[in-house]
Chains A and B, each alone.
Chain A
Amino acid sequence: MIQWLKDLMGSGSTVRAEPGETLAKQLALVIDLNVCVGCHACVTSCKEWNNFGSAGPLADERPYGADPTGTFFNRVQTYEAGAFPGTDTIHFPKSCLHCEDPPCVPVCPTGASYKRKEDGIVLVDYDKCIGCKYCAWACPYGARELDEERQVMTKCTLCVDRIYDEKLPREDRKPACVKACPTGARLFGDVKDPASDVSKAIRERGGYSLMPEWETNPANQYLPRRVTQAVGGAAQVQAKLPGRE
């Protein structure tokens, strides 16, 4: 009873990060657009792991009918820039960015949407979610999907059930998408640790946030395309090449 009163009075949670709290550790993905070939390995590896895992099942509607649609945490998109013959084709994976300032958390009326204090992963509590979709409205990235059968919100969990699973060999304790990616276009680690692979990649390769204008401070960062214009030459970031913009 006292605990409940304490809870009600808001004397801190052990699991949830408080709004505006700065975390010591923030796990995240770094997506390297320079080597993504758009193979969708991350899409279906995520689907198969989570479909049968603690985040699942992830429904598929009309799986063998017209307009098949289903719940996926990660999608790979394709963009084109420029005009022929100077066209660029860019493959673009997108999943929850585990923002440091996640707009989807404060709007949730039940507290099902929360950011973990210990590692910054943003999760959905499937036992609390009432499927009101308010959090999806609050995400500028469209990173959340309502599972049509379970009627609760779902999203990337950074494979929290893999990264801490001691029964898995150490090298497998990473998100399914990271392990699957054949070009190594997905890196995983703690962006608050300056010595981690992800931090180094962000520093050295100019990692950037999506939609920085909304100041959600996404933890996931993207690495831009680079072009090697001559054999033995240095790779230059594509946006800075002459003739663009």
Chain B
Amino acid sequence: MNPAFSVIAFTVLAGAAQGLVVTLALAVLAGVPLAPGFGSTALIVAQAMLLIGLVASFGHLGRPERAWRAALMWRTSWLSREVIVLPAFIAVNGLWWLALRNGMHTPLLPLAAIVMAAALWCCTAMIYACLRFIQEWAHSLTIANFTLIGLSSGLVLASALAAVLGEQALLRLTAPAAVAVTLSAWATRSLALYRNAALKPRSTLQSATGIHAPDLVQKSMGMSAGSFNTREFFHGASRAAFKQIKLAFIMLAFVAPVLLLVWAATAQSTAAFVLALLVQAPGLVAERWFFFAQARHPQNLYYQVVS
């Protein structure tokens, strides 16, 4: 696939925001002592990220003025469901923020926020996982990765916020949790990479054309300067660049943040917590880019050669 930055931006920002909200909700439900304004600050940060992400996702649409229609097919479409769950999640966050501002402390809203965040991760991941012939995506590992990576990024963000705003109680919980979740995310992501590397495509040129000759090759894709099908489904990066991006996201999204978090926790360094966030951010972008780019769509079989 050709990764679209608008979608990358949206899923990375939203994923981190969801993680942040879940972290906050769990902390509140667990009774972790927090400064009075922290919750609403954190929620504002999350809402801002969600809204920026949402606006970014509009960039992926050809006709953004009709975007409201996207909620209508929730019976069959995961995208439709996401389009309903995302505003619902934002609404719940908004209500919770209002509640916090008015001094109301009900467990219902943080619970609802957790449920909404989980549902949003599920919808977002299922948009890709439900496409059964994109074998790289069609697996429960996709949901696991979106959730764990989202949670990891949210915990890293929460830790940075907590460190900067001096929420030590929270930090003592989020730092190790961030390390644990990030390691888990790395594990599941590596499982997915391992699985993808071993995938045997079910579609072949023979099944795609019905011409069962063992040495079948394409000589012409029917047009000489590309089409939507050659632009949307091919990432265009060189093999070398592809490998480098894989290495980059493993290092930046998982390895480096873990190391930085451990150091930050042991050295009590606020700067290190912030650094972990700043290092993980490009790593998340790279990871999401790679997630899209690695998918080999069966339609690519039909678009290989010009002559």
Contact = CB atoms under 8 A, between A and B. Distances in A.
A and B touch in the complex (CB under 8 A): yes
Contact of A222 (B134, B210, B223, B229): B210
A19 to B, nearest CB: 6
Interface string B21-32: 000000000000
Q: Is the interface of B mostly helix, strand, loop or mixed?
A: loop
A5 B179 CA distance: 49
Interface in B199-216: 202-203, 205, 207-216
Nearest to A237: B212
Interface stretch (B63-71, B101-109, B167-175, B244-252): B63-71
B203 A110 contact: no
Interface string A99-125: 000010111111110000000000000
Given A107-B79, A211-B203, A145 B63 contact: no
A123 to B, nearest CB: 15
A151 B83 CA distance: 20
A68 B203 contact: no
A29 B194 CA distance: 41
B203 A82 contact: no
B144 to A, nearest CB: 21
Contacts of B213: 81-82, 88, 239, 244-245
Nearest to B229: A142
Contacts of B132: 103, 214
B72 A78 contact: no
A37 interface: no
Kindly state the interface size class of chain A when it binds its partner.
Answer: 35 or more
Contacts of B71: 109
Nearest to A148: B228
B63 A69 contact: no
Given A111-B73, A130-B69, A213-B203, A81 B215 contact: yes
A77 B220 contact: yes
Given A77-B220, A132-B60, A213-B202, A109 B211 contact: no
A201 interface: no
A150 B66 CA distance: 13
Q: Is the interface of A mostly helix, strand, loop or mixed?
A: loop
Contacts of B64: 130
Given A78-B218, A80-B219, A139-B299, A109 B77 contact: yes
A13 to B, nearest CB: 12
Interface of A: 10, 19, 33, 40, 43, 66-72, 75-83, 88-90, 92, 94, 103, 105-112, 128-134, 136-142, 144-146, 148, 150-153, 208-214, 222, 224-225, 239, 244-245
17 contacts: A70-B227, A77-B218, A77-B222, A79-B209, A80-B219, A89-B219, A103-B133, A107-B79, A108-B77, A110-B69, A141-B298, A142-B302, A210-B207, A211-B298, A213-B207, A214-B132, A245-B214
Interface of B: 1, 60-64, 66-67, 69-73, 75-80, 83, 127, 130-134, 202-203, 205, 207-223, 225-229, 232-233, 297-300, 302-303, 307
Given A131-B62, A142-B233, 11 more contacts: A106-B76, A107-B130, A110-B72, A130-B63, A130-B66, A132-B61, A132-B70, A137-B1, A140-B299, A210-B210, A211-B207
